[in-house]
Amino acid sequence: MKKYTYYKKYKNSNKLKFKYLIFVIILLIIIFLIFDSNNKNKLNISLSNLESFKISSQNIIKLEDIANKYNLIFYEMLAYYAIENNFFDDKELNIDDIEKEFIINYKNIKSKYKKKDIEPYINIVKNLIEDIKVFPIPSGYEKDYVYSDSYGAERNYGGKREHKGTDIMDRENIEGRIPVVSMTDGIVENIGWNEKGGYRIGIKSKTGNYYYYAHLDSFEENMQKGTKVLAGDKLGYMGSTGYSKVEGTKGKFPVHLHIGIELETTLTNNEIWINPYPFLTIIENKNINENKIN
């Protein structure tokens, strides 16, 4: 009898020890998880850095080549690359450096960030890459235009402000000469005169991004609010309209197309007009390559 009680006690105390051990293990796991998630990189990116998206086009094009070579998702890679560089890289890398520094460490880089932190940025890049299917100037006019990254440059009409877009200039400076086509599928949300943009057209894509084409000389017939457009559909012709409350005013600056892109994003409730330049160069490069194949 005595022996039995002892055994029972022994058994009970072992059970207790076992429970205690499980409790300690669970606690350790929780502590580890908390520590690990705190260790993950908190994204400390200012919205103005995101907006100005100063990643060199040459590097982006190299990234795309590498993504294809390693069968990686280009938009995801570009988002991680941009974040790693705080949306600003002014040095042109050679392809070996990108492979050495970025691809080799890609898994580690990805594991540094929490999914919920990184996701809005990946979505921004993904939506832009998916939306923009063609360059806004159709093929055949490659020698007629020129553009550079002028995002953030000073503008004075309507008060001192920053240029929140890309200007594609007509080399010959002739109104109504170069056609403008929609870069994306979408629905015409705004069309007509506005003071700064002149004759402008704004198209909302299904991702919610808004694509703005300003200073047009004329609109394509039948374009109106609510019209469904496909990427490549003609919107009108390049001009120099705007900078006046008087409809039809033109010639206050050289003939060009102003492209603006307002993002749909969960990052902020304020308007974000992202720099279109890198995305224009990506699509221009792609369209030129496609035309070479065809």
CB of 249 to Zn ion, least distance (A): 16
Q: Considering only 45-53, 120-128, 242-250, 253-261, which stretch makes contact with Zn ion by CB under 5 A? A: 253-261
For residue 164, state whether it binds Zn ion (rule: CB under 5 A): no
Residue type, 151: Y
Whole-number CA gyration radius for the chain: 27
Q: Which residue is nearest to Zn ion (CB)?
A: 258
- Give dist(CA 86, CA 77) in Å, integer: 14
Instruction: Determine the size of the site formed for Zn ion (CB under 5 A).
Output: 3
Of positions 132, 258, 261, 277, contacts Zn ion by CB under 5 A: 258
CB of 223 to Zn ion, least distance (A): 21
CB of 181 to Zn ion, least distance (A): 18
CB of 155 to Zn ion, least distance (A): 7
Minimum CB distance to Zn ion smaller for 186 or for 197: 197
Phi and psi at residue 115, to the nearest 5° = -55, -45
Please state, in angstroms and as integers, the Cα–Cα distance from residue 153 to each residue in 14, 112, 150, 160, 165, following that order.
74, 34, 6, 10, 9
Minimum CB distance to Zn ion smaller for 165 or for 202: 165
CB 225 within 8 A of CB 201: no
Q: Considering only 72-80, 158-166, 219-227, 239-247, which stretch makes contact with Zn ion by CB under 5 A? A: 158-166
CB of 214 to Zn ion, least distance (A): 7
Minimum CB distance to Zn ion smaller for 167 or for 170: 167
Going by DSSP bridges, is the β-strand pair 256-262/228-229 parallel, antiparallel, or unpaired? unpaired
Of positions 64, 167, 175, 220, contacts Zn ion by CB under 5 A: 167
For residue 165, state whether it binds Zn ion (rule: CB under 5 A): yes
CB of 225 to Zn ion, least distance (A): 23
Q: Which residues bind Zn ion (CB under 5 A)?
A: 165, 167, 258
